A and B are shown apart, each in its own frame.
Chain A
Amino acid sequence: MPDAVRAGQPDQATTPGAAREGGFSMSGPGAGEGRSGSGSGTDDYVFRAAVFSADDLRRAHTRIAHEIVERNHGAGALVLIGLYTRGVAIAERLGAAIESFEGVAVPVGALDVAFYRDDIGLRPVQPLGSTEVPVDVTGRHVVLVDDVLFTGRTVRAALDALTELGRPLSVQLAVLVDRGHRELPIRADYVGKNLPTKLAEDVRVRLAEVDGGEDGIDLWGPGVRGEASG
């Protein structure tokens, strides 16, 4: 998810997933997404507000890690599976946190959902990485991990992808930000922050190991030009 989350372009109704993980590159918003007819290019987006500082993000990670262990009565039967790109990094952080206070090494996997999406053919859907799940998910509690929960279509695709790998005891969902605007009956079990947003806004998650620089979450929105056309 190179550009976290964005919405509100005119073609949103037909390609709702496009906002989630469009691009092939990390070169910034809108890169490679091939959203034709999008009048307000995301170049027009401007910074609106800082949502999480690096410290806030660290605390959210720690809290979610504890909640996961508490809810599952330990870490023994857990497997954390991150969704590319930032979900994988977050899953690794959660795994490291759980190991630090629980003393259990939780298997961490990575899931690419491109081939399970419902907007294949509507936009350039390209895999963002290779699926690597180190253990059999059958008989385990799977926690899917992503950065931002938005339409729910990525998670829907992830549930399908997961089904092909085995039959988990349960599937739970952990996200750093729930920004609303769901298009499917999906909810998160662990949330870093509930952030009401406008459809046209962007939630941009920065993680040191993916994006370089300092961790943080920011809210961006269309600039004046974008607002006029959106």
Chain B
Amino acid sequence: MKHLLSIDDLGREGVDELCELAESFLEVTQRDIPKVPALRGKTVACVFYEDSTRTRLSFETAAKRLSADTMAFSVGSSSVTKGESLRDTVQTIEAMGIDAMVVRHRAAGAPHRIATWIDASIVNAGDGRHEHPTQALLDTFTLRRHRGPSLDGARVAIVGDVRHSRVARSSTKAFAALGAKVTLVGPPTMLPESLDGWPASVSCDLDAVLPEVDVVYLLRIQHERQDATLFPSLREYTTRFGLTVERAARLRDDVLVMHAGPMNRGVEIAPEVAEAPRSVITEQVANGVAIRMAVLYSLLGSGAPVA
């Protein structure tokens, strides 16, 4: 595997392989000295054209725990503000000697484009509304750790602004690749215009879906991407699609609650629900470091073909 641009690059076998590798790295992250020398001498650059807390810190932590050197780049304090093009910027960074570039960009397909310009391995850390493959992998890894290696027959509801969510697209593909049945839930304005490329079914009625699911995956209401008003008010959204205390109380005890963060507490998820034992939200963050170690190791270290 040279790049990780889309979940489509992996297939079921690739997702399985990375999740299994992540088990080993999860053990590493739980040690007193959570570090191995596997990628000594390698350099990983994190190139983020969009804001991020967890993804960027997660990648940097993952690289450091593999003993790779890291380089951070943020647009605000860079020559991009002087008008340097994307191509010139990434070629400049590559010329400093890097082995992998972790890219987040507001434009869908930007990482794919960069992969044609430079030799380093590219990891897509989110491109516009398109994909966020490492988020999907950590979500899948988290579910596997709770349900066992196969997700065959697991019923997952992904709730919220699916149309504008790269997490929803990538995670739907990854869950479905392992055999889960995914239902996308939200107001019609937030559901995909077409199910082309979405291995899922849709519903506009959360209360009808909830009794039938094993996992509720909540998406963040993205204020920053909302040029048009997709729903009348936050309060109405919460009433119809929020995982409130009352709705959560109707779930079976073994139903898991996931969220990619950052959460809008009180909007898509009630604070009490986010803290409840069924919530695996902080686990997702911890698992994110392990899965990103697995991704970086597969790209730079193992020389192993991922299906």
Instruction: Report the stretch among A56-64, A116-124, A180-188, A190-198 that lies at the interface.
Output: A116-124
B302: which A residues are within 8 A, CB to CB? Answer: 120-121, 124-126
Minimum CB–CB distance for B145 against chain A, Å: 13
Highest count of chain B CB atoms <10 Å: which of A24, A34, A121, A132: A121
| Contacting residues of chain A (1-59) with chain B, CB-CB under 8 angstroms | 24, 34
A124 touches B305 (CB 8 A): yes
A115 touches B31 (CB 8 A): no
B33 touches A130 (CB 8 A): no
Q: Count A-B pairs with CB separation below 8 Å.
A: 57
Q: How far is the CA of A73 from the CA of B35 in the complex (A)?
A: 35
| Contacting residues of chain B (259-307) with chain A, CB-CB under 8 angstroms | 297, 300-305
- Indicate whether A126 sits within 8 Å of B21 (C-beta atoms), given known contacts A115-B28, A120-B301, A121-B301: yes
| Contacting residues of chain B (23-49) with chain A, CB-CB under 8 angstroms | 23-24, 27-28, 31-33, 35-39
Count B interface residues, CB 8 Å: 21
A160: which B residues are within 8 A, CB to CB? Answer: 37
Name A164's contact: one of B35, B303, B304, B305 (CB within 8 Å): B35
Interface set of B (CB-CB < 8 Å, partner A): 21, 23-24, 27-28, 31-33, 35-39, 66, 297, 300-305
Highest count of chain A CB atoms <10 Å: which of B32, B38, B305: B38
| Contacting residues of chain A (88-145) with chain B, CB-CB under 8 angstroms | 112, 114-116, 120-127, 129-132
Q: Does A165 reach chain B (CB closer than 8 Å)? A: yes
Q: How far is the CA of A72 from the CA of B39 in the complex (A)?
A: 37
B304 touches A114 (CB 8 A): no
| Contacting residues of chain A (159-173) with chain B, CB-CB under 8 angstroms | 160-161, 164-165
B24 touches A114 (CB 8 A): yes
B303 touches A121 (CB 8 A): yes
Q: Which residue of A lies closest to B41 (CB)?
A: A121
B33 touches A164 (CB 8 A): yes
Identify whether the interface residues of B are mostly helix, strand, loop, or mixed.
loop
Q: How far is the CA of A112 from the CA of B246 in the complex (A)?
A: 47
Q: How far is the CA of A34 from the CA of B300 in the complex (A)?
A: 16
Q: How far is the CA of A30 from the CA of B214 in the complex (A)?
A: 42
Highest count of chain A CB atoms <10 Å: which of B28, B36, B305: B36
Name A34's contact: one of B33, B38, B303 (CB within 8 Å): B303
B301: which A residues are within 8 A, CB to CB? Answer: 120-121, 125
- Indicate whether A112 sits within 8 Å of B24 (C-beta atoms), given known contacts A34-B304, A120-B301, A125-B303: yes
Minimum CB–CB distance for A163 against chain B, Å: 9
A124 touches B304 (CB 8 A): yes
Q: Which residue of B lies closest to A120 (CB)?
A: B301
